[in-house]
Each structure stands twice: as C-alpha cells, then as structure tokens.
Amino acid sequence: MEKMWRIVAIGTVFLFVSSVVMFAGGRAEPVDDEVRHIRLWQHLDAPDEPYFYDLIDRFNQEHPDIEVEFELVPWGGAYDLYTTSLVAGDAADVIFYATPAWGSAFWEMGVLEPLDDYVAEWPGADQIVDVAWEGSRAATDEPIFGVPIMTLPGYLYYRADWFEQLGLDPPETREAFLEAAKRITEEIDGAYGFGMRGARGGTGMMLSFVLPTVDNQWFDADGRSTFRRPEAIEAARWYVDLFREHGVTPPSAPSDGFSEIIEGFQSGLTGMLVHHIMSAEGHVAALGDDAVGISKMPSVNGERWVEAGMHHYVIARDSQHKDAAFTFVSWITEPEQAAFYGRYVGAIPVVQNVEEVEPYFAENRFARTAAESTAFAYNPPYIETLGEFWEQSWPANFQRALIGEISVEEMMEQFARTVEGR
Amino acid sequence: MLGLSYPQQRKVSPYLLLLPAFLAIAGVIAYPIFRAVVMSFQSYSLMRPADIGFIGLGNYVRAIRDEVFWLSLRNTAVYVFASVGFQFLLGFGLALVLNKRSLLSTVSKNLMLIPWVIPGVLGAFMWRWLFNANYGLINDVLLRLGILSERIAWLSRADTAMSAVILTTVWRGMPFFALMLLAGLQAVPDDLYEAARMDGARRWQQLLYVTVPVIMPVIVTTTLLRIIWTANFVDLIYLMTEGGPGYSTQVLSVYTFMTARSTLNYGYSAALSIFLTLFLMLVVLMYIGRARKEGIL
Amino acid sequence: MTPKRHAHQGMESAGHRLIGLYLPLLLFLLFLLLPIIWTIITSIKPASEIITLRIRYLPIEPTLEHYRSLFRTLPFATYFRNSLFVSSGAALFSLVLSTSAAYSVSRFRYRGRGMVMLLFLTLNMFPIVLLLIPLFVIFRSLQLLDTYLALIIAYSTYAIPFCCWMLTGFFNSIPHELEESGMVDGCTHGMAFVRITLPLAAPAMAATLIYIFIYAWNEFLFAVTFTRSLASRTLPVGLATLIGQHVLNWGLLTAGGVVSSIPAIVLFMFIQKYMTAGLTAGAVKG
C-alpha cells in the first residue's frame, strides 16, 4: 500500500509542480514606460497573404511609442473568444468584427469604450462616409462604439457566357431575374438559375427581395415589424417559390451555406449568385474573366436593398491604453490605409471619394460595382435580437418554409416576433 | 505508513486514492457548474447585465412551453439511440475482427483510429461535401452503381438529414468503441476459451457465453459514457446542418449551444442544459440500476 | 503457457479466414477510410480540380502546392510542440488520477463512492459554452491564461470522469480473486495492484491514454478561448485559421488535416504494443 500511495502522491505533485514551473513562469507583464503595447484581435480570410501583416509593420514603424501586437484569431472561434474575454475583462485592446450583430451584442454587454470624445478630436473622422457611422451606434443620439473601415455590399454575379448564349441581359428587376433563372434552368444542361443560400448567412439575400417592398424599413412608426405587411409576405413568398414553385435553385438549397453557393457557381451548377467582392477572385480563377458577369442587385418595384456588411474596429472598455488603441484605430481607418486594406485584403473602404485615393476602386469592375452598390447598402437596424434573428430564427424558419413545414405567413410572423424582441 | 495500523489503512486508503481526482475536479469545475445552475434560476442575459436577477423557475417554464425544446428532445433521443447503437454493434464487430492475429489487423488497428484523430472540423466538412447533392461523392457513386436514379439532397431533406448525421457520428465514434472493446477483449483469460472449447462450444457460443459476460462491465461503461458523450456532442451537427433543415436535426445540445451564442441568454440556455442533465441522469440511473441487478457493476 | 487467445486459429481454413476476417475487415476499412482517402486525394489536387460537377476521382496533375503553402502559412512546428505538450500532459495527469480513483471505486466498498462517480459524470453532461466564462475567470486569477497549464487542467478535469468510469469498468472485468491470491502470498493491496492488476489492465490503460490524448489533440473551444499567442496555441486553433469568413480553401484545409493527424497516428503505433502484448496471462499465473 505504502509504495502505491507514494507513487500516486509523488506523481501528482511532480506533474503539478513541474508544469507550473515550466509553463507559468514567463507571464509577468513587461514593464516598459516608453512603448505602449496594444493587442489586436482580428480574423483574416487569407492568412497566407502578407498584406495585413505589412500594414501592421508599417504602423509600428511609424509609431515608435506604440507596438501593435497582432493576434490572428480563427473565424470559427472568434465570437466565443471575444464574448468570453470581454465579459471577463481580459480581452485585447482592439477588436475587429465583420458581423453587425456582434456590435450590438458587445455594446449591450457594456464592454466597449464609447468613442465620441476621440472621434470629435479626430480630423480623419470626416473622411468616413456618413452612412457608415450608422452601424456604430444604437441611435443617432447614442454614443459611438466602433469605427467603420470597410463594407462588403452584395451584388449579382452571373454567367456572362450563358447569358450571351441565351440572349439574356443582366437582370435589372426581379422579374427579369426570375425569367433569366428559368431560362438557365431549362436550357443549360445540369444547371440551375440561382444559387440560393438557405443555411445561416442567407438572411440578407432574402431581405434584398423583401425589404424594398416596404420602403427598406424594418419597423413601422408604431414599432411593429414590417414583416407582417401583405406586400412583404408576398415578396417572401416569391423568394421561397424560387425553390418550391419554379425550381430554379438546386434542390439542396435548404442546407446550402456559403461554401456550397460559391462552389456551385464556380463549378457551373448555378448561373446566378448574390455575393460580394471577396469571392470575385475565385470566380475568375475557376471560370475565366469573360464568363464572370456582374451587375447591381436586381430592383424590386424600383427599389434596391443590399446588406452593407460593415466591418468595424472597437476598443475594449478594460483596455489599459485606450489613447494608443485609438491612435491605431484612427490610423488604419484613414483613407490611405483603408484603401490599401480594401484593395489587397478585399473590401470597399468607407472613405469619401475612395477612387481618388486609390484608382483601383474605379478601374476594377468588381470594385466599381461594389462601390456603386454602397448607394443602397444598409446596415440592419440596431436591435438586441439581431443575432437571434440572423443566426437562429431566420435559418430555421426559412428552411421550414422551404421544405413546406410551415407557410410563408407563419415564417414571416416568426421573423416579426424575433425582431420585435418577443 | 502515517503510523496507521493495517485495518485503519484499509479504511482510509480508498478515500485517499479517490481524493486527487476529486480535488482536481472540484477545484476547477465545481464553481463553474454551480454558477451555471444558479444562472438557470436567473434572468441572465449577457446583453442585459443590469437586469440580472432571480426569476425562480421562469426559465424552466419557458423551456416547457418552447416547442423547439420538445422537438430537440425527441431528436436527441433518436440521434443518441441510433448513433450509440450502431457505434456499439459495428465497433464490437470491428474489435472482434481486429482481435484475430493477422498482418491486416495489425495495420488496421492503426488505421481505424484516423476518423477519430482527424480534426473535427475537417471530418464534418468532408462529410458535408461527400453528402453534397450536386458534386458529392456519395451521389456520384450511387448513380454510377445504378442504386440511385437521381441525385438526392441528403442534408436538405427532413427525411434524410438525420440519417446522414447519424452515419457521420457512427463513423467518428466507432473507433472509440472498437478501441475500448478491443482492450476489454485482451483481458479475457485464455483458459476460459479453452474450457469452453473442451465443452464443445461453437464459436458463437464462445462469444455469447464466454466473451460477452467477461467484458460486460466494459460494454456497460463504454455505452453509458457514449450515451452521455453523444447527447452532448455539438460540433458535428452544428458544422453539418446547424440543426436543419428546419428543426429536423436539431438536438438539445446544439439548440442550447446556438441559443447561448445567438441570444447570449445564458439563463435560458442553462435551464435547457439542466433539463438535458436531468434526462441523462435518469437514463444513467436506470442503466446502472439494471446493471447492478444483473451483478455487472 | 500457450500464446494468448485463439490457439485454434491455425486450424482455420483459408475460406473461413476470408469470410471471417478479411472481408469484414475490408468493409470496415472502406467505411472508415473513404472520407480519409478523399481528404488525401483532395489535398494533392490543384485548386481547379477540387470541386467539379463531374467528379474526378484521381488528380490529373497531382501537386504538393497545398502542403507547401500550408507550411509557409502556419508555424506548424510550434503548433505541434504545443499540442504535444498539452496532450501528453493532460493524458498523463488524468491517467494517474483516474487510475487511482478507479482502483478505489472498483476494489473497495464504501459509502458514497457511487455518489461521487455520478457527480463526476454530471460534469460531462454540461455544455462547455456555459462554463467558459467562469473557467476563464478562474484561469485569469491564477495567471494561467495563455499557458499550457490552463489547457492541461481544463482537459484533465474534463477527461477524468470519463476515464474513471472507463477504468472502473476495466478493473471490474479483472477478477478480484487474482489480487486476493496475490495478497495471500504476502503482498499488500498496493503491491497486488501494481504486480497483478496493473499489467492485466495495461491494454485498458493504453486505450484510456489514447482516449485523452486524442480528445486533447482535437479540442477547439477551450483552446481558442484560453490561449492567445503562438507560444501556447494548439493545432486545432491553427488549423481553424485556415477557414475564413468568406473563403474556404479545401486544398489547404485537407492538407492541414492530413499533417495534423500524423503525429497522433504515430504515437498510437507506439502505444499499440501495450494493447496486444501478452504481458497479461504470464503475470497472472506466475
């Protein structure tokens, strides 16, 4: 028995002590009065490309008193990391996010620093287009909590070669869109007209066909959701019927997520796709420049709405170096840096007259169409239940409507309740 | 040792042996679990830090009135029962085959673990791709073999999505069973087989009357643990279908996870998970009670 | 002492062996390995051949470009080292603690042991998302964030209940009489355990070790929340950076999956001998 105890006891103690000594040693904060260390959390879509790292290096060279330490966060774990560490008060100083619902969630959690005083003293603030600021606060009289840098408005990709073959023009209206989708489905072998995204992330796509019928408003004056209005329900029915009635989407639409719709377009399964500039390069690589056509989102009753896809930088309330953090945030969102970022990392900077700063945004056809689309690109309203609507209620109920478990009216009622916060 | 007499040692030692594990668990996780239990009685949304306060059974009542909760509970039962059942049967079969000596089984013992070893994200994504209606391998092979006449959108139909998810879970979980049961089989003393053979027992009789009874404790514990593990398994369904289409693959663990993340209502999510814990507890107690009665545990 | 198990195998006909062994084994392997083979094939296909409507089973122009860019993008050596430390630390730590606890539960009868084991289990019934914030607070106050130790502790506590149960099952299947006969020969409880039960349980302990190791090797949620810097991040976190919000690079991802699985497989090859070794019977009868 004794021997046994000793083995267990010594083994345990040894393991504990050795690991503490080995791994917990170097945790003391570096004491340095000169250089302020700013930690930055951000996910990158192409971590293998050097551009973003170059940008950070440039900042650090230009600002000898500040050292930005960039920690690449995987997209798949970013939300869990941010919420957990922000609530616990041990997050990075600066955090980047590209999902509108995260902004309202973090702000409601009370973990972000209000930036009004900083922004008021920052000359560069005027160079950011006005509408971009809408996603940075709960209402116009509420504090600013984030600085917008880029937008990814959706537009329509279409197979230019097929359109030419079928004698079709890029669809300007939803009627022309349906017509084109039908023709492709009927006449191109093995292909479908439209790559519908029925899984999470497809919310904006549906709203592009629904919101224009209600003047791009989410709520009536009395605060009730416009999703209950007959014209919104009819528009939603039209969208659901692309799958149910007309069969112009692949039969897999209810579970198709981001990779399926992109791969579907690139492999010749679908003829039209609603997406933003980040996938342009892949389409051209797969299909050739000539086969990739682009056009603004089709209009519904003469109106257009696309999801703005705004990207923001925020500063943690518990940051020890808020001034230095804002120095970085204001630097990277200034026209020159934002334009570099937008061009190489891929998005449309939200600065005034971006094409004068960087001609690429006027010359490149994808960037041009995206920049033009910013005219009708909107942030979703600031509501507490945005995440719930976007990530949970929409996919579940939209899919149920697609596979016929509930009616379109029931689906829209569910959406209305979620956005109203009931 | 410690100046204790032998009988005293005998009395103390079981506790001392248990103590390190107990301390490790209690020290780290007891508080977080306690917090979660408290949260389930609170209005606790991260988005409303000012409104946190006790609301009694409010979250539990809400769960009982939540149609998705009941749907998920039913799906959980189907998902767990089918996945664990198939994992066990196939895993046991594999273990028996691997227990025979041959070069192929030595090689296979290494290979069989791969589904379990490769990163979960990759496994789920690969299967989602294999099941893809339009350019997935499964439809392609079945079409070529003439088993299917048209493509099936496996993950997009309410009647096939659950089966697809179960198949993937079995694929990922089978190596665990094979490994554990194989380890159990190693401990079956040879003389038992010899005796059985002398009595003229056939192979299947040896299996049924020698092998199974001896490794029964291992079978009971592995299936029990697997039930709990599968009922709490989030990654695979979340990455493959996110509970869809509609709610057809929505299980309680995924529903809890998605609710916690998208609404940040931790109070409600905690109540959901306490329900799951209670149901699992019920299953565990019944299971253990049965095993005790049979003299297995 | 005859070689362990199935001495009669030699008498089996070739036909029996085919039906009873090779055929089922090949079917099992097909099911288990099909997605793996597809992963490997994908990892050596050029990007243009990966997603095609007419599926290409084999690459026309096989390439190693994904592997090259993988090693350019990810500091694999560091991730490996971190994962290896964390997984082996967690595996050893929890194996020691669980063996001791399982032995106690399996070989002694005392009040409350069933209760403790049940309490252990409830831990595994809780969703991790809900435990993240309090755990994070604990690790922060212990100054353990961004260290191996945080992950080792988290994984161990999470794995111990499972391991205790599994090992208890294994110990229960080893007849008490063997130990008792040893004790008659003058061994203490502990000696009997070390000399008799432990060798018999070697396959079980090896299996348990593998279980924890693989769990720690693949765990993502704890890893992504408790570590930040390259110095302590593990492989799954590194791999996840390859999956972007707007980009899914199959080539990189599959190559990464292949590379990151290899060490665990190699490790298993080493441990395997303990799972099949005939250590057992000799010790029993000796």
Residues B170-221 pLDDT 10s: 999 999 899 889 888 887 777 888 888 888 888 788 888 888 888 888 898 8
- Between CA C281 and CA C271 the distance in angstroms is 19
> Which secondary-structure segment (H or E) carries B190?
helix B190-198
Residues B246/A403, Cβ–Cβ less than 8 Å: yes
Q: Does domain B67-293 have CATH number 3.40.630.10?
A: no
Q: What is the mean pLDDT of chain A?
A: 90
Q: Do B13 and A1 touch (CB under 8 A)?
A: yes
Spell out the domain ranges in chain B: 67-293
Contact A252 B259 (CB under 8 A): no
Q: What is the pLDDT of residues B86-145, one digit of tens each?
A: 999 999 999 988 887 777 777 888 888 889 888 888 999 999 999 999 999 999 999 999
Q: With 70 as the cut, is the pLDDT of residue A19 above it?
A: no
Q: How far apart are CA A189 and CA A184, in angstroms?
A: 8
Check whether C285 has a pLDDT greater than 90: no
- Residue C88 near chain A (CB below 8 Å): no
B220 touches chain C (CB under 8 A): yes
- Nearest CB to B273 within list C130, C201, C248: C130
C206 DSSP assignment: H
Token pair of A343 as six digits:
């061009």
pLDDT in tens, C21-38: 788 888 888 999 999 999
> Any chain B CB within 8 A of the CB of A411?
no
Read off the pLDDT of each residue in C160-185 and give the average, rounded to a whole number.
82
What are residue A30's phi and psi, to 5 degrees?
A: -65, 130
Count of B–C CB contacts within 8 Å? 303
Q: Identify which of A87, A84, A75 has the alpha carbon closest to the alpha carbon of residue A112.
A: A87
Query: Residues 6 or more apart from B163 whose CB is under 8 A from it?
Result: B154
pLDDT at residue A24, as a whole number: 44
Percent of chain C with pLDDT over 70: 90
Chain B residues closer than 8 Å to A410 by CB = none
- Chain-centre distance for alpha carbon A63: 30
Give SS3 for B132.
coil
Is the CATH number of domain C74-285 1.10.3720.10? yes
Q: How many other CB atoms are there within 10 angstroms of residue C52's CB atom?
A: 15
Lowest mean pLDDT among A19-28, B13-22, B64-73, C153-162: A19-28
Closest Cα in chain A, distance from residue C275 (Å)? 23
Query: What pLDDT is attached to residue C280?
Result: 41
Amino acid identity, residue A37? H
When pLDDT is cut at 50, 70 and 90, the band that residue A9 belongs to is low
* Secondary structure of residue B223 in the 3-state scheme: helix
Mean pLDDT of chain C: 84
pLDDT at C2 over 90: no
Does domain A155-307+383-420 bear CATH number 3.30.70.1230?
Answer: no
The structural domains of chain C, with segments of one domain joined by +, span 74-285
Domains A36-152+309-378 and A155-307+383-420 are alike in CATH topology: yes
* C-proximal residues of B, 105-144, CB under 8 Å: 105, 108-123, 125-127, 129-130, 134-135, 137, 140
Q: Which CATH number does A36-152+309-378 carry?
A: 3.40.190.10
Is 80 exceeded by the pLDDT of residue A411? yes
Q: What is the pLDDT of residue C91?
A: 95
Separation of alpha carbons A143 and A113, rounded Å: 9
Q: Do C129 and A80 touch (CB under 8 A)?
A: yes
Alpha helix ranges (H) inside C44-147: 47-50, 65-73, 76-107, 113-123, 128-141
> Is 90 exceeded by the pLDDT of residue A100?
no
Bridge partners of A41, per DSSP, are A71, A95
Q: Do A198 and B245 touch (CB under 8 A)?
A: yes
Average pLDDT over residues A235-249: 97
Please check the confidence at residue A26 and state whether its pLDDT lies above 60. Answer: no
Contacts of C272 (CB under 8 A, 6+ apart): B109, B110, C206
pLDDT score at C4: 43
Please name the amino acid found at residue B4: L
User: DSSP characters for A204-244?
Assistant: HHHHHHHGGGGTT-SB-TTS-BGGGSHHHHHHHHHHHHHHH
Is residue B160 classed exposed, middle or buried when 0-12, 13-18 and 19+ CB atoms within 10 A define those classes? Answer: middle
More confident: C224 or C247: C224
Over range C132-149, report the average pLDDT. 92
Question: What is the number of residues in chain B?
Answer: 297
- How large is the average pLDDT for residues A344-353? 89
Domain ranges of chain A: 36-152+309-378, 155-307+383-420
Q: Which residue in chain B has the smallest CA separation from A254?
A: B156
Q: Which residues of C touch B17 (CB under 8 A)?
A: 100-101, 103-104
Written as one string, the DSSP assignment of A297-362 is: PPBBTTB--EE---EEEEEBTT-S-HHHHHHHHHHHTSHHHHHHHIIIIISEE-BTTHHHH-THHH
Q: Which residue has the higher pLDDT, A192 or C48?
A: A192
Q: Can you give the pLDDT at residue C284? A: 36
Tell me what ipTM this predicted complex has: 0.90
> What is the helix (H) or strand (E) element at residue A371, kind and residue range?
helix A365-373
Closest chain B residue by Cα to residue A390: B262
Grouping H, G, I as helix, E, B as strand and the rest as coil, residue A95 is strand
Query: Which pLDDT tens digit goes with each residue over C118-132?
Result: 888 888 888 888 889
Interface with chain A: mutation pick from C49, C221, C228, C249, highest number of A CBs within 10 Å: C228
* pLDDT band at C276; cut points 50, 70, 90: low
Q: C146 to chain A: which residues are within 8 Å by CB?
A: 27
CB atoms within 10 A of CB A21: 10
